[in-house]
């Protein structure tokens, strides 16, 4: 079907290729080659769509069975008979033969039923400098057809050394960019596997509004449609469209999972509900499991039969067939389009039925992701799905749903590492079940720490299984946890201008929101900091993934500050000089750090789910030299492709005790209000003299109000007094006072800790000792 055609540039020009009999080598960049044996193809594949984005110079030197291709940066030695790349010599002059060793891993299809760390697939970057992408089993995309390939090998050798960002950037040029995700996806999501009634769901969303908890995405899991199909429609409803015994057993267990007709017992007027939700700025997604096709009891059955040429009187299943053009037409135009027109914004594709389809070699998960995204391209809105990862190249089909994890600390502990490491596969938009999905135990602290990680992850989607006692609503926790959780949900909404700007960088430059530390620092400690990651260009997160110590009342995590950096905790204000720390935090504080010179645009308010451009902004600034481009557009249309967007370019310079901040807007200034209210908050400036465009202001540095129209603004803070860490004695007194233990023992253990040079008693609980040690380290951090 024409709607599923894709524009590609998959043929490499002849002058960039060298053929040795049955071996073809294509030189794509100075660091990337393609080696084919057997049947060559110039067509796009499931993974690779572009092979002519750079034309580097190179030489070829043949010696016997070996051809050395030299790009001036890397030498690739290829056996001209077998196509084996015998060795690669990178920019550092090191000869590499083992391409599997040192791989920094990528991601995986799902975390279903996982409890803690699990293996990840290989990624595209390696500590040894070389990684291999094997595209040999990828199907060919030729016009509207998806075709199996003749016997061949088709491998891509990425020899980028430690130039990890450049590697991933070129990978996107090879496979296609990550789409620009709609703005609403970066707010808070409500999701729960629960058979809500229409009244219950509406009342729940109204409570979020009344409690001033901003939610932008309203998810209705599979109980939106009929699931008790045998009871409702008889044994014939369990008809299974397959002769495969394994699949029959799977489908019989899941007979109610596939459905496309609203359960009118639960939702007597679903159109009214969809309108109500859309009127209140909730974007709606529905869960689907398409594997069992379209059955006779579906409201759309007769119309589907008319398209595919079946007699509806026979009540035969219309099987799910990705290779059938008529089925695809019916699937999208008859089954899904009417609901989209009525207010369903996008679909949650919950495929769990294996990797076989009617198209030989085609994983139906990949097919669903691919076709659903392409089906939306002419809708006027940005294509979006929530689905599972279907292998390298899946970044083109955001967002990723990681599956039904177990509720325990081990699962939480693994997710920061997994989320950042997925960057190595170019997969940047993971959505986890925040709080965990199933089993486990009730632990308000675990819920809160998971939520805090969710706030500083790509997608903050609260979710849980079908159990009356496992809801993730904040008010189902103890009072003080409820309050903290609500504060963090509001802060997530405030972060949207920042996250949305990084989203633009992901789309245009391949910069991930969550990135491993070794992308910025090629140091040993960066590779060891598995639980620490960059959150955009300005922030670093070291999430708490451990239960607190009962006596200290604090939970610990590790922090590494690279040489030449200064990190300021955005919640506590603590300042960290370069080094390694064991840090401790109360429940209300997630360790999130601003680099020196950071510029962080936020919404000023978060008491509603408003995403409009008229929202007042607050920009947090941290002393130092830095820059940031804030991206604005309408948030959901494709108009940005035609240049309908604006970039507000911001720069901060520190000169001694003077800070100079400038901002101006480029591009389509209609994207910003004529009078945009912006508050500048110089977070680590205690006092100073403020001037705006040369005029002195009486404002404090943490509350500089600007009415902004897009023209250049210059704000100067003179005679700055910069914040410093608290006095050690004062800080340690407050800390020890909170320790939960006998006052007599506390006094005996800690009476000498005020002397910064005295030993911390070895008999004290470990967490207490380490929390005091953190304060001692901070007392030596340089002021400002």
CB of 554 within 8 A of CB of 585?
yes
41 lies in a domain? yes
pLDDT at 78 over 70: yes
For β-strands 23-29 and 575-576, DSSP reports them as: unpaired
315 SS3 class: coil
718 lies in a domain? yes
Type and span of the H or E element at 559:
strand 555-561
pLDDT at 782 over 60: no
The C-alpha atoms of residue 592 and residue 14 are separated, in whole angstroms, by 50
Q: Pick the residue with more confidence: 287 or 780?
A: 287
pLDDT at 450 over 70: yes
Question: Angle, to 10 degrees, between the axis of helix 766-779 and the axis of helix 728-737?
Answer: 160
Paired residues of 648 in beta bridges: 630, 665
Structure confidence by residue, pLDDT tens digits, 264-305: 999 999 999 999 999 999 999 999 999 999 999 999 999 999
Report the mean per-residue pLDDT for the chain. Answer: 95
The C-alpha atoms of residue 255 and residue 657 are separated, in whole angstroms, by 69
For β-strands 599-603 and 626-632, DSSP reports them as: unpaired
The C-alpha atoms of residue 459 and residue 162 are separated, in whole angstroms, by 28
pLDDT at 365 over 80: yes
189 lies in a domain? no
CB of 550 within 8 A of CB of 741?
no
Q: What number of other Cβ atoms are within 10 A of residue 325's Cβ?
A: 13
Contacts with 22 (C-beta within 8 Å, 6 or more apart), sequence order? 37, 38, 83
Structure confidence by residue, pLDDT tens digits, 218-247: 999 999 999 999 999 988 887 665 555 555
Q: Pick the range with the lowest mean pLDDT from 177-186, 227-236, 409-418, 720-729.
A: 227-236
Total count of domains within the chain: 2
**Domain boundary, last residue among 705, 722, 739:** 722
185 lies in a domain? no
pLDDT of residue 578: 97
- Residue 653 is part of a domain; what is its CATH number? 2.60.40.1180
Q: What would the mean pLDDT of 351-377 be, rounded to a whole number?
A: 92
**Domain boundary, last residue among 119, 141, 175:** 175
Q: Output the six-digit token pair for 375.
A: 């089906």
Structure confidence by residue, pLDDT tens digits, 329-346: 999 999 999 999 999 999
DSSP designation for 639: G
**Domain boundary, last residue among 707, 722, 737:** 722
Residue with tokens 């002519």: 52
- Residue 67 is part of a domain; what is its CATH number? 2.60.40.1760
674 lies in a domain? yes
Smallest Cα–Cα separation from 374: which of 396, 359, 356?
A: 396
- Per residue in 269-305, is it b (16+ CB within 10 Å) or e — as a string? ebeebbebbbebbbbbbbbbbbbbbbbbbbebbebbb
pLDDT of residue 760: 85
Q: What is the pTM of this model?
A: 0.96
CB of 407 within 8 A of CB of 440?
yes
Q: What number of other Cβ atoms are within 10 A of residue 404's Cβ?
A: 21
Please state, for a pLDDT cut of 90, what percent of the chain lies above it.
Answer: 89
653 lies in a domain? yes
- Per residue in 219-245, is it b (16+ CB within 10 Å) or e — as a string? bbbbbbbbbebeeebeeebeebbbeee
CB of 383 within 8 A of CB of 374?
yes
pLDDT of residue 352: 75
Q: Pick the residue with more confidence: 590 or 465?
A: 590
Band of pLDDT at residue 784, cut at 50, 70 and 90: very low
pLDDT of residue 68: 98
pLDDT at 634 over 70: yes
Give DSSP secondary structure letters for 264-301: TTT-TTHHHHHHHHHHTTPEEEEEE-GGG-B-TTSTTH
The C-alpha atoms of residue 423 and residue 429 are separated, in whole angstroms, by 9
199 lies in a domain? no
Q: Output the six-digit token pair for 47.
A: 């993974």
pLDDT of residue 255: 78
768 lies in a domain? no
Band of pLDDT at residue 570, cut at 50, 70 and 90: very high
pLDDT of residue 781: 60
pLDDT at 751 over 90: no
Structural domain of 136:
2-90+129-175
Is the alpha carbon torsion for 723, 724, 728, 734 positive or negative?
positive
pLDDT at 59 over 50: yes
pLDDT of residue 713: 98
557 SS3 class: strand
pLDDT of residue 580: 97
The C-alpha atoms of residue 116 and residue 414 are separated, in whole angstroms, by 6
100 SS3 class: coil
Is the alpha carbon torsion for 721, 716, 572, 538 positive or negative?
negative
Q: What number of other Cβ atoms are within 10 A of residue 387's Cβ?
A: 24
For β-strands 75-79 and 459-462, DSSP reports them as: unpaired
């Amino acid at each position: 079907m024409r709607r599923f055609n894709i524009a590609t540039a998959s043929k490499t020009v002849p002058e960039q290729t060298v053929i040795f009999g049955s071996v073809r080598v294509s030189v794509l960049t100075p660091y990337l080659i393609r080696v084919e044996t057997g049947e060559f193809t110039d067509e796009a594949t499931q993974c690779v769509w572009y092979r002519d984005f750079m034309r580097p110079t190179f030489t070829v030197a043949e010696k016997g069975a070996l051809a050395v291709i030299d790009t001036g940066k890397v030498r690739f030695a290829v056996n001209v008979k077998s196509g084996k790349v015998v060795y690669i010599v990178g920019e550092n002059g090191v000869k590499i033969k083992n391409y599997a060793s040192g791989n920094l891993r990528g991601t995986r299809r799902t975390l279903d039923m996982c409890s803690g760390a699990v293996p990840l697939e290989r990624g595209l970057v390696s500590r040894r400098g070389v990684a291999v992408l094997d595209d040999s089993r990828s199907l060919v995309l030729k016009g509207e057809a998806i075709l199996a390939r003749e016997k061949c090998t088709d491998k891509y050798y990425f020899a980028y050394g430690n130039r990890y960002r450049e590697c991933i950037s070129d990978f996107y040029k090879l496979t296609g960019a990550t789409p620009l995700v709609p703005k609403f996806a970066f707010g808070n999501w409500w999701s729960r596997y629960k058979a809500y009634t229409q009244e219950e769901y509406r009342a729940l969303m109204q409570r979020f509004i009344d409690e001033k908890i901003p939610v932008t995405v309203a998810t209705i899991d599979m109980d939106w449609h009929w699931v008790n199909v045998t009871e409702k429609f008889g044994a014939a409803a369990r008809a299974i469209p397959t002769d495969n015994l394994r699949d029959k057993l799977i489908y019989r267990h899941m007979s109610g999972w596939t459905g496309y007709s609203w359960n009118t017992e639960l939702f007597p007027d679903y159109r009214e509900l969809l309108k109500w939700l859309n009127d209140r700025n909730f974007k709606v997604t529905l869960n689907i499991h398409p594997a069992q096709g379209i059955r006779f009891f579906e409201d759309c059955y007769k119309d589907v039969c008319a398209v595919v040429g079946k007699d509806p009187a026979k009540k035969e299943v219309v099987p799910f067939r990705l290779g059938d053009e008529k089925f695809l037409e019916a699937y999208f135009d008859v089954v899904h389009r009417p609901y989209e027109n009525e207010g369903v914004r996008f679909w949650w594709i919950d495929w769990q039925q294996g990797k076989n389809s009617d198209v030989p070699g085609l994983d139906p998960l990949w097919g669903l992701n691919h076709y659903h995204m392409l089906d939306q391209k002419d809708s006027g809105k940005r294509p979006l799905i929530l689905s599972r990862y279907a292998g390298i190249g899946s970044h083109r089909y955001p967002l990723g749903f990681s599956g039904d994890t177990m509720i325990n600390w081990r699962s939480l502990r693994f997710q920061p590492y997994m989320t950042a490491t997925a960057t190595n596969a170019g997969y940047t938009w993971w959505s986890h079940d925040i709080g965990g999905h199933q089993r486990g135990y009730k632990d308000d602290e675990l819920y809160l720490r998971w939520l805090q990680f969710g706030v500083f992850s790509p997608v903050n989607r609260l979710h849980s299984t079908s159990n009356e006692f496992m809801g993730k609503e904040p008010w189902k926790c103890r009072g003080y946890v409820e309050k903290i959780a609500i504060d963090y949900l509001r802060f997530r909404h405030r972060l949207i201008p920042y996250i949305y700007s990084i989203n633009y960088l992901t789309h245009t430059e391949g910069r991930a929101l969550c990135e491993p530390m070794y992308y910025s620092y090629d140091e040993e400690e960066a590779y060891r900091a598995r639980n620490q990651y960059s959150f955009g260009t300005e922030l670093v997160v070291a999430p708490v993934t451990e239960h607190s110590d009962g006596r200290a009342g604090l939970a610990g995590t590790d922090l590494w500050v690279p040489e030449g950096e200064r990190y300021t905790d955005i919640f506590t204000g603590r300042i960290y000089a370069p080094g390694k720390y064991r840090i401790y935090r109360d429940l209300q504080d997630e360790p999130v750090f601003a680099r020196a010179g950071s510029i962080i645009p936020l919404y000023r308010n978060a008491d509603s789910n408003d995403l409009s451009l008229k929202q007042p902004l607050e920009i947090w600034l941290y002393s130092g030299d830095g820059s940031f481009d804030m991206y604005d557009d309408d948030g959901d249309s494709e108009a940005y492709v035609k240049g309908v967007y604006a970039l507000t370019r911001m720069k901060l310079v520190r000169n001694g005790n003077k800070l100079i901040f400038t901002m101006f807007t480029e591009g389509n200034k209609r994207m910003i209000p004529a009078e945009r209210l912006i508050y500048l908050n110089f977070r680590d400036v205690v006092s100073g003299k403020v001037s705006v465009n040369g005029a002195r202001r009486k404002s404090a540095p943490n509350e500089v109000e600007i009415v902004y129209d897009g023209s250049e603004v210059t704000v100067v803070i003179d005679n700055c007094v910069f914040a410093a860490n608290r006095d050690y004695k004062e800080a340690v007194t407050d800390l020890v006072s909170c320790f939960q233990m006998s006052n007599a023992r506390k006094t005996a253990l800690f009476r000498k800790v005020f002397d910064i040079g005295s030993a911390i008693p070895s008999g004290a609980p470990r967490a207490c000792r380490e929390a005091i040690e953190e304060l001692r380290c901070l007392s030596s951090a340089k002021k400002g």
